[in-house]
Each structure stands twice: as C-alpha cells, then as structure tokens.
C-alpha cells in the first residue's frame, strides 16, 4: 500500500489546500515606469505628499490584530477613512495616480485631458493657469462608519480635512502655490478620477502650482525618509470589491452628503484663516471686570518649522499631571491665524473656547479665544475632573490634561442656510484649525490629541456655550505621557461609551 493512501484523508486534503503554489500570470506585467518621464515637479509633489500625508517615525500601533505605522495626520480610531487621488500635469495632458500610503507608492490609474481638468476647475483649457497638480482626498465613509455608525461620516470629513490642510501646508512650505477648493463639482471629480460607483466622495481639491525654478531644479533627498513613494504602473493598481455592508452605508448618507445633494454656492476666492471670532456670552462673566489675558507672541505668527513639526507630531495617548506655560499656549494658538488660499472665504468658520486647567499664570476656568487680538477672555469656571471626564465619554486620555480646546459653531442655523455644503465646509475648517493646533503643539513640545467622542451638551456646559452654538470638535492638550494607552484605537469604540464593563470603568 502506498504511503499516501495510509494518510488520514482529511489531513491529506488540508495539506493539499494549503500547499504553496506560484501563480503564473497569463501575460507578463507591463513596465512600472510612469507614462511620461518624471518631471522635477512630479518628484517634488511626491515628496510633499509624504510630508502632508505619509507614514512617519514612531511606534507601530495595534488596531485589533492589524499593525500599522503612525502617519503625519491624526485620524479617529486610526482608521483613515479616505484615499488621496491626484492628477499630475504632463506635456499632453494629466496623468492620474492614487497615493497608496501603506504601500508607499503612487499607482497610475489613468489619464485626463487638459480640457477635462479645466472643466473640473472651471478654467480655460489653454494657457498657464492650469495647475501642475490637483490633489483630491476622497472620503470612504464605510471605513469609519463600520466602527462609529452614522457619526463616522463626520469623522470622514474631519480626517480628510486634516490631510488636505496638511498637504496644502507642506506645499506652501516647499514654495508651491496652493489653493484649496471646497465648492467643486464632486460628481465630476469622481468621474474624472475613476471613483464613480466606488462609494467614494471627493471632499476637497487642492491645486498646486510649482515655483518657476522648480520645473528644472533637481530634486534632493526626501524630506520624510519614511515615505518615499515608488511609481507603479497601471496594471498594478488593485480594485477592491465592494461589500453589501459598504454599499448600504453609502446609501445611508446620501441624504446628508454634499456629493449626493450639491449646493450651488458660487466660489468666493481669497485668503482665509481657520477660526472665527465667535459670539460673546450674554450672561455676565463670573470675574466681571477682569482684564483679558494677552498671549504671546503678539501680531502675526512667526514662521512655522513645518518639516520638523509635522514629523514630530503625535496624538498624545495621555497626559502627565504637569503645568504648561502661558507663552507655549500662545505660540500654539497663534498658528490658527495662518491664512490659506480658498474658494470659500465667505463660508462658515468655527470659533474656539479654551478650558484652562493647569496653565502657568492663567486662572483655571473657561475662556473665549479672540483670534483678532490673540487674547483669552474669561467667562466662568470650568467644572471639576469628573465633569471633564464625563463630558468626554469617560476617556482616560483627558485625565491630567492641562487644557481642553473646543471648536464650536451655530450648527442648526448654518445647516438651514447652507445645507450639506455648509456641513462639509464647517468640518473642513474645524479640521484645518485642529491640524494647525497639532503642529503648533508639536513645535512647542506639547502633547495634544483630537477627540471625536464627546457629549455635546456637557462639553457646551463646561465652556458656557449659549443659544445655537454647538460643539463640533474637541482637542485635549498638556504634557504628554508616553506610557499611557489610547483606547480609541481599540476595535471597540470606547470613545463613544461603548464596550464591556460599567461606564465608570471606561
């Protein structure tokens, strides 16, 4: 009897099913060379993508059983529910690419004519006005909604806004002219980039125009050594099949998405900061007659060491019980005054209130931040530790935080006046302000983390919001504790009060 016949048939089947085999393609793969010779502008844009939205040095974090390296922008639950697409200007048209962050490569996906891109940008097809590149963060709601439900759609807007803002800042730091567009034809953009029917939503469009000397200047070493993209050919671009759950999630946001319900708001070009002055409380402050707390530096913000700050930025996992300096706080807040060229300068901006808990020289309490004069105006106390923790869904990360930064806006009147487009623009600006705060904190060596899970009413009470003002986004800051664990990266959404055990244990 043959030896194989004496084997357990189930064990034999298992061995056969799991045997390693080489898969020989029917046709050899095409060359991975780009369709046109790489231009200096293309390599420069690839470099700034690595800075704006690439992997960076730091600890590899665990999300369930998946290992991933941290990136230069934050994300709720480290899910990064968006993809970055781009069009690069060539001699005869634009070449289309997808920026694969995990694979650290640019995958060629197709081509577009000058006319196609010009129609998307509402510009003439001829002449020097067409940009060297168009970068489009495209939200993939299911990536966030499968963990956070319908609220995950808002995280998609915030996370994509962080990336778009950071890419624009990286471009400006490299000498490019950047223009952020939010009032774009999202359906036309999806068709152009090959996203139609893929449950993806173009959220913003960043035009990049290189300085004159960049067109011939040889590129140097990568600014972010952890994100040096490889150029891949079109045949190497995988297409992921859509699941029934992702399609259902996409359909569930059709009534609130600007992609499905476009609003015809005309472009309003100009330069915009990321914060509004915001309303003053109608009630008398508890410290009537108290002088405004003037922050340093006064006047325009100094230069941001962007490349250093963006690679140093971390989402703090916790904070040590330590005090931060008032000057450091001022140097963080001042960066929200930096202006970005946009097509929606008449759009909604969030305002900022600061809950001071342990800042040298500033009395604890709730403050209005006035970006015009760069001052804090005290409006009352800010509650105790239990009130803070409860307002932030019991998240341990806020323990010992020296301050809480609360971005807010009159949401309901805004939605009534501007609809879905207003929702998208508000969350983009909130993300833009948060990204600048993150970079400013990194430059000062402070810890900061973005919180998507919070009780809107309880946070509003802490900072004395009134009338139609509602909380949009919350950040906590202080002296970072590297030994802490940030539970929003866990598979269960602890930041939303979900998970095993009583609420006081979370």
DSSP E strand stretches across 293-333: 293-294, 319-320, 324-325
Domain membership of residue 258 (yes or no) is: no
Q: Are residues 340 and 210 in the same domain?
A: no
CA angle 396, 400, 402 (to 5 degrees): 125
Tokens, residue 214: 């960049």
Bridge pairing between strands 359-360 and 324-325: parallel
From the list 324, 327, 386, the residue with the least C-alpha distance to 356 is 324
Q: Are residues 175 and 202 in the same domain?
A: yes
Q: Are residues 80 and 218 in the same domain?
A: yes
Q: Are residues 228 and 330 in the same domain?
A: no
Domain membership of residue 157 (yes or no) is: yes
d(CA 114, CA 78): 36
Domain membership of residue 68 (yes or no) is: yes
393 CA to centre of own chain: 22
> Which segments of 91-180 does DSSP mark as H helices, in order?
114-121, 141-148, 152-173
42 CA to centre of own chain: 23
Range of the domain at 484: 270-494
Q: Are residues 138 and 100 in the same domain?
A: yes
How would you write the pLDDT of the chain (506 residues) with one tens digit per residue? 444 445 566 766 677 666 676 655 444 444 445 555 667 889 899 999 999 999 887 655 544 555 678 899 999 888 999 999 999 999 899 999 999 998 888 999 999 999 999 999 988 776 668 999 999 999 999 999 998 999 999 999 999 999 999 999 999 999 999 999 999 999 999 999 999 999 999 999 999 999 876 544 444 556 888 887 788 877 655 677 899 999 999 999 998 999 988 777 899 999 999 999 988 776 555 444 456 899 988 666 666 788 889 999 989 889 999 999 999 999 999 999 989 999 999 999 999 999 999 999 999 999 999 999 999 999 999 888 899 999 998 888 899 999 999 999 999 999 888 889 999 999 999 999 999 999 999 999 999 999 988 999 999 999 999 989 999 999 999 999 887 766 555 555 544 554 433 333 32
Using the 8-state DSSP alphabet, how is residue 445 labeled? T
What radius of gyration, in Å, describes the C-alpha atoms of the chain? 24
Tokens, residue 175: 């000498």
Q: Are residues 94 and 132 in the same domain?
A: yes
CATH number at residue 139: 3.40.109.10
d(CA 164, CA 162): 6
Write out 347-410 in H/E/C secondary structure.
Answer: CCCCEEEEEECCEECECCEEEEEECCCCEEEEEECCCCHHHHHHHCCCCHHHCCCCEEEEEEEE
Question: 419 by DSSP, 3-state: which?
Answer: helix
Domain membership of residue 18 (yes or no) is: no
Among 192, 218, 252, residue at a domain's last position: 252
Q: Concatenated DSSP letters for 24-63?
A: --SSPPPP-S-SSPPPHHHHHHHHHHHHHS-EEEEEEEEE
Q: Are residues 136 and 177 in the same domain?
A: yes
d(CA 87, CA 205): 11
Q: Residue 381 — φ and ψ, nearest 5°?
A: -75, 180
Question: Do residues 132 and 89 lie in contact, with contact meaning Cβ atoms separated by under 8 Å?
Answer: yes
d(CA 146, CA 157): 15
Q: Are residues 281 and 223 in the same domain?
A: no
| pTM higher than 0.75 | yes
């Amino acid at each position: 009897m043959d030896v194989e016949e004496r084997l357990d048939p189930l064990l034999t089947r298992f061995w056969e099913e799991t045997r390693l085999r080489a898969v020989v393609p029917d046709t050899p793969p095409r060359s991975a060379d780009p369709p046109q010779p790489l231009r200096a502008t293309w390599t420069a844009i690839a470099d700034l993508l690595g800075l704006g939205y690439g992997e960076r040095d730091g600890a590899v974090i665990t999300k369930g059983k998946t290992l991933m390296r941290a990136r230069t922008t934050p994300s709720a639950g480290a899910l990064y529910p968006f993809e970055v697409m781009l069009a690069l200007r060539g001699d005869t048209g634009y070449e289309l690419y997808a920026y694969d962050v995990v694979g650290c490569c640019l995958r060629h996906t197709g081509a577009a004519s000058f006319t196609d891109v010009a129609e998307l940008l509402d510009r003439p097809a001829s002449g020097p006005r067409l940009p060297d590149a168009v970068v489009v963060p495209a939200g993939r709601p299911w990536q966030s909604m499968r963990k956070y439900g319908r609220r995950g759609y808002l995280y998609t807007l915030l996370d994509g806004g962080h990336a778009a803002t950071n890419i624009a800042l990286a471009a400006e730091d490299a000498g490019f002219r950047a223009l952020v567009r939010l009032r774009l034809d999202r359906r036309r953009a999806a068709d152009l980039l090959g996203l139609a029917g893929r449950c993806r939503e173009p959220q913003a469009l960043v035009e990049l125009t290189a300085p004159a000397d960049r067109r011939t200047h040889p590129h140097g070493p990568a600014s972010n050594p952890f994100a040096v993209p490889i150029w891949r050919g079109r045949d190497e671009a995988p297409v992921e099949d859509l699941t029934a759950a992702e399609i259902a999630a996409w359909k569930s946001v059709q009534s609130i998405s600007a992609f499905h319900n476009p609003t015809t708001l005309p472009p309003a070009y100009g330069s915009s900061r990321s914060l509004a002055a915001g309303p003053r409380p109608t009630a008398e402050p508890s410290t009537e007659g108290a002088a405004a707390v003037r922050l340093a530096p006064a006047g325009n913000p100094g230069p941001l060491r962007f490349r250093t700050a963006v690679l140093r930025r971390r989402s703090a996992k916790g904070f040590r019980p330590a005090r931060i300096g008032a000057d450091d706080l001022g140097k963080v807040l001042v960066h929200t005054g930096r202006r970005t060229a946009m097509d929606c300068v008449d759009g909604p901006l969030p305002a900022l209130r600061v809950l001071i808990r342990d800042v040298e020289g500033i009395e604890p309490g709730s403050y209005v931040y006035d970006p015009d004069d760069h001052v804090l105006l005290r409006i009352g106390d800010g509650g105790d530790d239990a009130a803070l923790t409860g307002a932030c869904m019991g998240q341990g990360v806020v323990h010992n935080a020296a301050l809480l930064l609360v971005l807010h806006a009159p949401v309901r009147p805004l939605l009534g006046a501007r609809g879905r487009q207003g929702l998208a623009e508000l969350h983009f600006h909130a993300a833009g302000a948060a990204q600048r705060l993150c970079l400013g904190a990194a430059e000062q060596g402070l810890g900061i983390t973005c919180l998507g899970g919070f009780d809107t009413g309880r946070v509003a009470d802490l900072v004395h919001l009134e009338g139609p003002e509602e909380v949009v986004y919350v950040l906590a800051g202080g002296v970072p504790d590297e030994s802490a664990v940030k539970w929003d990266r866990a598979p269960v959404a602890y930041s939303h009060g979900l998970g095993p055990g009583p609420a006081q244990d979370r």
